[in-house]
Copies of this chain bind each other. A is one copy, B any other.
Amino acid sequence: MSDALVVFTPSGKRGRFPLGTPVLTAARQLGVDLDSVCGGRGICSKCQITPGYGNYPKHGLTVAPDALSEWNAVEQRYKDKRGLIDGRRLGCQAQIQGDVLIDVPPESQLHRQVVRKAASARAIAMDPATRLYFVEVAQPDMHEPSGDLERLGNALRHQWNIEGITASPGILRKLQSVLRQGNWSVTVAIFADHRPGPARILEIWPGFHEGPLLGLAIDLGSTTIAAHLTDLSNGAVIASGGVMNPQIRFGEDLMSRVSYAMMNPGGDAEMTAAVRLAVNALAQSVTAEAGADPAAIMEAVLVCNPVMHHLFLGIDPVELGQAPFALATSDSLAMPARELELTALNPEAQLYILPCIAGHVGADAAAVALSEAPEQSDDLVLIVDVGTNAELLLGNRQRVLACSSPTGPAFEGAQISSGQRAAPGAIERIAIDPRTKEPRFKVIGSDLWSDEPGFGEATARTGVTGICGSGIIEAVAEMRLAGIVDTAGLIGSPAQTGTERCIADGRTHAYLIHDATDTGGPRISVTQGDIRAIQLAKAALYAGARLLMDEMGVERVERVVLAGAFGAHISARHAMILGMIPDCPLDKVTSAGNAAGTGARLALCNAGARAAIEAQVKRIHKVETAIEPRFQEHFVNASAIPHAIDRFPELARVVTLPVVSHNTGADGGGRRRGRTRG
Binding site for B on A (CB under 8 A): 139-150, 167-169, 172-173, 175-177, 196-197, 313-316, 319, 323-331, 335, 339-340, 356-359, 622, 624, 626-627
Contact = CB atoms under 8 A, between A and B. Distances in A.
Contacts of A197: 196-197
B169 A328 contact: no
Given A175-B328, A196-B196, 13 more contacts: A140-B326, A142-B323, A142-B624, A145-B324, A145-B325, A145-B358, A148-B329, A149-B331, A150-B331, A169-B313, A172-B313, A173-B315, A176-B319
Contact of A147 (B146, B326, B340): B326
A62 to B, nearest CB: 51
A192 to B, nearest CB: 13
Given A196-B196, A328-B176, A624 B145 contact: yes
Contacts of A357: 145
A570 B201 CA distance: 46
A420 B656 CA distance: 102
Contact of A326 (B176, B324, B326): B176
A169 to B, nearest CB: 6
Tallying the copies of this chain within the complex gives: 2
Contact of A327 (B148, B315, B328): B148
B325 A142 contact: yes
Contact of A168 (B141, B146, B148, B339): B339
Nearest to A269: B173
Nearest to A341: B169
23 contacts: A140-B324, A140-B326, A141-B324, A142-B323, A142-B324, A142-B626, A143-B624, A145-B326, A145-B357, A145-B358, A145-B622, A147-B328, A147-B329, A149-B329, A167-B329, A169-B315, A169-B339, A173-B328, A175-B315, A175-B329, A176-B326, A176-B328, A197-B197
Given A339-B168, A339-B169, A176 B315 contact: yes
Contacts of A145: 324-327, 330, 357-359, 622, 624
Contacts of A177: 316
B328 A149 contact: yes
A495 B19 CA distance: 90
Nearest to A626: B142
Given A142-B323, A323-B142, A324-B140, A356 B173 contact: no
Of A144, A146, A149, A315, most buried by chain B (CB within 10 Å of CB) is A146
Contacts of A335: 168-169
A596 to B, nearest CB: 19
**What 9 A-B pairs are tightest by C-beta distance, nearest first?**
A147-B330, A140-B326, A145-B358, A149-B329, A147-B329, A147-B327, A142-B324, A142-B624, A140-B324
